[in-house]
């Protein structure tokens, strides 16, 4: 059994990350892993407050640079208080969004310098990098139709979400060993089977 198993889920809105995270946790638990599920933003009490500020549509507008820096603050806090401690104890961690989200959303989506985001990600993650990132790819037009109660990020226009998807696909080309694309339009069962196969290749 591979120790220190850190897996992240990424992708445009409406790709079914929440469902697949639950299914993967169940699968890994059955294999004997002590699985911790977390998310960014919002992995601990500090992150929960940052999430409210960033995503609540009823709050005042958050500037693009402030949004990025709050994401990095959340990431640093999550790595230090949630992710690294559980990995160090021999557990497995599944995280709903991580470093790639900042590149896709704040970089490609918002237009902030991508190299600068990579630099900030390196600092915020402090060397904690997933062994596998599942990119649940979906056309934003389809994905957004699946969403019910939309947060501030999900309320952005179509062009924004198209750029986000382009960012994710570009990242998958740059890091093919870590980022694996799964077609999220398939049935939940088929997506789960693909994910199990990808995970098996990492833990065998």
Q: pLDDT digits over 120-149, tens only?
A: 999 999 999 999 999 999 988 886 666 666
Peptide bond into 41 cis (omega under 30): yes
CA-to-CA separations, 30 to 27, 33, 88, in angstroms, rounded: 5, 7, 21
Buried b (16+ CB within 10 A) or exposed e, 121-138: beebbeebebbbbbbbbb
**Which residue in the block uniquely carries the two structure tokens 């080309």?**
173
| Tens of pLDDT, residues 91-131 | 999 999 999 999 999 999 999 999 999 999 999 999 999 99
Contacts of 56 (CB under 8 A, 6+ apart): 151, 152
Would the pTM of this model clear 0.75, i.e. be above it? Answer: yes
Domains and CATH numbers, the chain: 6-203 (3.40.50.300)
Q: Regarding beta strands 92-96 and 179-183, do their DSSP bridges make them parallel or antiparallel, or are they unpaired?
A: unpaired
Q: What are the CA-CA distances from residue 58 to residues 61, 66, 177 (Å)?
A: 9, 17, 40
């Amino acid at each position: 059994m591979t120790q220190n198993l850190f897996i992240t889920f990424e992708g445009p809105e409406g790709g079914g990350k929440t469902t697949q995270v639950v299914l993967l946790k169940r699968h890994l638990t059955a294999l004997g892993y002590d699985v911790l599920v977390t998310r960014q933003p919002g992995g601990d009490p500090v992150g929960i407050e940052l999430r409210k500020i960033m995503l609540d549509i009823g709050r005042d507008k958050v500037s693009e640079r402030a949004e990025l820096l709050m994401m990095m603050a959340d990431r640093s806090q999550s790595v230090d208080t949630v992710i690294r401690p559980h990995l160090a104890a021999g557990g497995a961690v599944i995280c709903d969004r991580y470093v790639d989200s900042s590149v896709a959303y704040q970089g490609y989506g918002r237009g902030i310098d991508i190299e600068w985001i990579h630099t900030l990600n390196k600092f915020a993650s402090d060397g904690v990098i997933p062994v596998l990132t599942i990119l649940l790819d979906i056309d934003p037009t389809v994905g957004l139709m699946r969403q019910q109660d939309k947060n501030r990020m999900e309320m952005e226009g179509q062009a924004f979400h198209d750029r986000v998807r382009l960012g994710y696909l570009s990242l998958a080309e740059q890091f093919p060993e870590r980022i694996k694309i799964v077609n999220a339009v398939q049935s939940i069962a088929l997506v789960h089977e693909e994910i199990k196969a990808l995970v098996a290749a990492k833990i065998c």
